[in-house]
Amino acid sequence: MTANPRLLLVNGPNLNLLGTREPDVYGTATLADVERLTAEVAGSLGYEVRAIQSNHEGVLIDAIHEARADCVGIVINPGGLTHTSVALRDALTGVSLPFAEVHISDVYAREEFRHHSYLHDVAAVRVIGRGIDGYADAVRELIGSL
């Protein structure tokens, strides 16, 4: 029996604080809620999810590299690394897995520095400003593009 195809769910710095961090911006759902929603939607489409969250860029990069072995795509909310990390971009393009970039808030309605994404032009899917439902949308769109 063959295992279901797998997606890697990556959540970057400070997303472990979901539910308590600036609820007026990010809502009251927790990281556990995000992971559960993502796994449920992926599961309904015949996919598994492996989730990682870290406040350390290198840990995220290592997880992305490891995804080459057993994942067919990546759903990533890079948090603040969106606007600063060429290394994260290089990891994502280096593994040659399609990925969806997700942001809970509408980054274009916030501070100007949040308008720039190092990932926007290499992401297969971008979902911005849909709250945690954006993760579900990203999974559906990414799987639909595979």
Asked whether residue 116 is marked as a ligand-binding residue, the answer is no
- To the query of whether residue 103 is one of the catalytic residues in this protein, the response is yes
Predicted confidence (pLDDT) at residue 11 exceeds the cutoff of 50:
yes
Is residue 101 within 8 A of residue 127, CB to CB? The reply is yes
- Beta strand 48-53 pairing with 125-128: unpaired
Catalytic residue among 26, 47, 118, 135: 26
Which CATH number fits the domain 6-145, given the four candidates 1.10.3720.10, 3.40.50.2300, 3.20.20.10, 3.40.50.9100? 3.40.50.9100
pLDDT tens digit sequence for 78-106: 999 998 999 999 999 999 999 999 999 88
Predicted confidence (pLDDT) at residue 136 exceeds the cutoff of 70:
yes
Asked whether residue 44 is marked as a ligand-binding residue, the answer is no
Strand order in the sheet with 48-53: 48-53, 6-11, 73-77, 99-103, 125-128
Q: What was the pLDDT predicted at 2?
A: 52
Predicted confidence (pLDDT) at residue 1 exceeds the cutoff of 50:
no
- To the query of whether residue 65 is one of the catalytic residues in this protein, the response is no
Asked whether residue 21 is marked as a ligand-binding residue, the answer is no
Catalytic residue among 47, 103, 118, 135: 103
57 or 27: which carries more pLDDT confidence? 57
Entry field: residues in the chain: 146
Query: How far is the C-alpha of 59 from the C-alpha of 122, rounded, in Å?
Result: 21
Cβ contacts of residue 84 below 8 Å, gap of 6+?
A: 118
Is residue 13 within 8 A of residue 63, CB to CB? The reply is no
Average pLDDT over residues 115-120: 89
